[in-house]
Amino acid sequence: MKLLAGLLATSLAVFTGRGACAGETLDRVRAAGTLTCALVRDADDWSEADTHGDLSAFGADFCRALAAEVFGDPAKASFLLLPDEPAGLAAVRDGMADVLFGATPEPVTGGIFHAAFGPPYFFDGQGFLVRKDGGISGIADLSKRHVCFINNSRAERTLYDALDPVLAEPEVHFPYSERGEMEAALVGGHCDAITGDISWLANVRSQLHAETPRFTVLTDTISLDPIAPAYRAGDPQWAALVSWTIWASLAAEEHAVTRANAGDLGESRDPVVLRLIGATPWIGKALGIADDAFLRVIKAVGNYGELYERDVGEGSKLQLPRGRNRLPSEGGLLWTLPVEPPP
């Protein structure tokens, strides 16, 4: 991630040196009058091509944020809903979408689809859905327990690779070929836990209806799977613009700039706040956007914490705690470049 930050910072320095020369993608988006974002939304069953839950609401809000930067209007965002990540990457490659919110930044996949990736905005990972009264509060409690999964899936492979070596006594493996059967086994007590990416497990939990309050997703995970934006490779200005959509939302949270107060901070003594709201010119010219573009973003959708709470956290059907998706100052993994004038 530090390497990615350095490369994007270098790209931004190049833009600063040559002035506000709009990139090919930005020109095309403005000419179209709308920003088209691909989103992955197919959480009804297990897909080997996309093992995450439905994070489309989160991606849609970042798309609206990017539209607010480009057009000054979040309503200029339009959405292309697709069943899995490969379909989303193909849409970006083929020019059907300007950006995909919901990709795993994997270099080989990037090469296949001629795609590049921005910074992660969500850290997924394989975890466990368990009954609250089942006596399982962490991975160590899974010894001798019946752990269920979809047969021949990535979750099965990760389970064998990561869990078996660390338990004092191995868990009992129970494969299923269908999600519905596995959910019924969990509710009926035949499974002590089911395993999959935590976003997917949170979606499963939300669909247990009256049984939902009895179950929880453990905070422990056995893998780390970042989710990031993807766009066509070869346009560093668009790359920087998309990436700063993520970073600015994180910086706004870090400096307590919210949807409610963003318009009232013009007298702030914090130079970072003044740059974020456009009171002090910052990188707008370099990116080909207005100086107050990030102020428009915060007013439209809020800072990262507000987005998370609404789309993924307690205010959403997923009800996932922040966990690793906290700021570094709070022990999380999300990071941003310094909000400083470019070199």
pLDDT digits (tens, 9 = 90+) for 102-131: 999 999 999 999 999 999 999 999 999 999
**CATH code assigned to 2-123+225-330:** 3.40.190.10
Residues 6+ apart with CB under 8 A from 264: none
Which pLDDT tens digit goes with each residue over 51-63?
788 999 999 999 9
Identical fold between 2-123+225-330 and 126-217: yes
Is the pLDDT at 3 greater than 50? The verdict is no
Which pLDDT tens digit goes with each residue over 179-191?
889 999 999 999 9
CB under 8 Å, gap of 24 or more: what pairs does 201-204 form? 201/53, 201/127, 201/128, 201/129, 202/53, 202/317, 202/318, 202/319, 202/320, 203/43, 203/53, 203/54, 203/317, 203/318, 204/53, 204/129, 204/179
- Class of the CATH-defined domain 126-217: alpha beta
Is the pLDDT at 144 greater than 60? The verdict is yes
Q: What are the residue ranges spanned by the domains of the chain?
A: 2-123+225-330, 126-217
Is the pLDDT at 8 greater than 80? The verdict is no
Cα separation, 118 vs 235, in Å, equals: 12
Cβ 279 vs Cβ 239: under 8 Å = no
- pLDDT > 70: percent of the chain: 90
Is the pLDDT at 208 greater than 90? The verdict is yes
Cβ 243 vs Cβ 118: under 8 Å = yes
Cα separation, 51 vs 214, in Å, equals: 24
Average pLDDT over residues 221-245: 96
What are 324's two structure tokens? 């690793």
Cβ 216 vs Cβ 130: under 8 Å = yes
Q: What is the pTM of this model?
A: 0.89
Cα separation, 328 vs 142, in Å, equals: 30
- CA distances for 120 relative to 23, 130, 131, 322, angstroms: 23, 27, 30, 14
**If you search the block for the tokens 């506000």, which residue do you land on?**
20
The three-state secondary structure class of 135 is coil
Residue 106: what residue type?
Answer: E
Q: What's the chain's average pLDDT? A: 89
Q: Where are the alpha helices (DSSP H) in 77-235?
A: 85-93, 107-113, 154-162, 179-188, 198-206
pLDDT, position 22 = 46
Cβ 43 vs Cβ 53: under 8 Å = yes
Is the pLDDT at 10 greater than 50? The verdict is no
Is the pLDDT at 9 greater than 50? The verdict is no
